[in-house]
Each structure stands twice: as structure tokens, then as C-alpha cells.
Amino acid sequence: MPARIDPERRRELVVDAAFRLVVAEGMPGVSLRKVAAEAGLNIGSVRHYFEGHEDLLAAAARESGERMGRRLARHPAEGLAGFSGEFAVEALRELVEQVLPVDGERRAEAVVVTELILASRTRPVFAPVAAQMAADLHEVLREALAVLGHPGPDAGARQISALVGGLTLDAITPHGALGPGQVRETLEDALRLLLGVPRQS
């Protein structure tokens, strides 16, 4: 590692290291010392950027949310204007897949976000981050359904959000052990029901 490194880049190295460790070991297995070793820094450097263990874990989770957000931004709701039938299903499926574990990158992000959501049940410090992620996703989905002319975009967004949560849990744990193809197929079936577009025979 270079002797001199930009402070913001150093912080990114720490967050990335925490992200990798959460994926590999879960939140309970992550410590400041492990993160420092993973980032190739001393523990003092880690403490310089983060107040403590929970602050660092929340930063890793926010990083996951920001990565998902950047992908979602490439699929703006207004781009769905005028779509119907098969085109609407396909466009909405592509949007929702941005936050589902259908490849290695998205699976890692989903693991970190899920770890945060589970931790937020008993560790209130994580609750605001988890709640904001849920609100942001709901708004993206609500706007997309509104543009598509769905008669109940709020209710529809809640349905899709619940589906995302269930599919994610089943894809990243032995609970369901779903592969990417099964995730996509289940998602498409649900979106067809929501949009009233039957599968063509």
C-alpha cells in the first residue's frame, strides 16, 4: 500500500473491508481489528473514521444500499411511460432485479443488507438505516407502478417489497436455496399477476 493515500480513499478501503467481512462472517463475526487487518491498516486508522463497531457496520450496510441505489437510478420510473403488457412486465422485472441476488455482486449486497435488517430487530442503532432503505425502495417501486398506470401503486409497491424480502432470504440462505433462475421466474410470475398480464402460451 502506498505510504500516502487520500483520506476519503482510506475510508472507502475500510468500508469495503467491513463489507467483505460481513458477507463472509456475518455481522457478529466482524470486529474493528478484523476490519483493520482486512483493509491492510492499523486499528487506529479505522477508529479515526468510525466511532465504533456499530458505526462501521452501519456504514457497510449503507454502502450496499448506495450500490443498489446507483443501479436503480439507471432505470428511472419515467422510462416506463407508455409501457404495457409484456413490455411493462419486462421493464418492471429489470428494475426489481437491481436489488435481488441474481449474480455475485448483488448477492453480496443482499447479504449485507439482510444482516443489517436482522440486526435492527434487537439493536436500535441500526433501525434508522434499515427503515430508510425500506422507504427508498418503496418509493422507487411506487413511482414505477404509478407511471405504468397501476391503480394501487402504494399497495403494489408493498407487495413487491415483501416479495423482494422473501426471495432474498430464500436465495441467500439454505431456507429456500433458490438459484438466480428461480428467483427471476418467481419474480416474473408475481409481476404478471400484479400487472394482470398472463403468460403467453
Tell me the per-residue pLDDT of 167-200, one tens digit each, with 9 for 90 and over: 999 999 998 889 999 999 999 999 999 999 998 8
In a domain, residue 158? The reply is yes
Could you tell me how many helices (H) and strands (E) the chain has, helices first? Answer: 9, 0
Query: pLDDT tens digit string along 40-77?
Result: 999 998 998 888 889 999 988 888 889 999 999 999 99
- Record the pTM: 0.91
Whether 25 maps to a domain, the answer reads no
Cell numbers that stand for 154 in this block: 402504494
CA distance linking residue 28 with residue 61, whole number of Å: 14
Contact 95/75 with Cβ under 8 angstroms?
yes
Degrees, nearest 5: CA angle 33-36-42: 100
Q: For the chain, how many structural domains are there in total?
A: 1
Identify whether 52 is part of a domain: no
The residues, ordered by sequence, that sit 6+ positions from 3 with a Cβ below 8 Å of its Cβ are none
Q: What is the CATH number of the domain that holds 175?
A: 1.10.357.10
In a domain, 153, yes or no: yes
Write down the residue that cell numbers 455482486 correspond to.
105
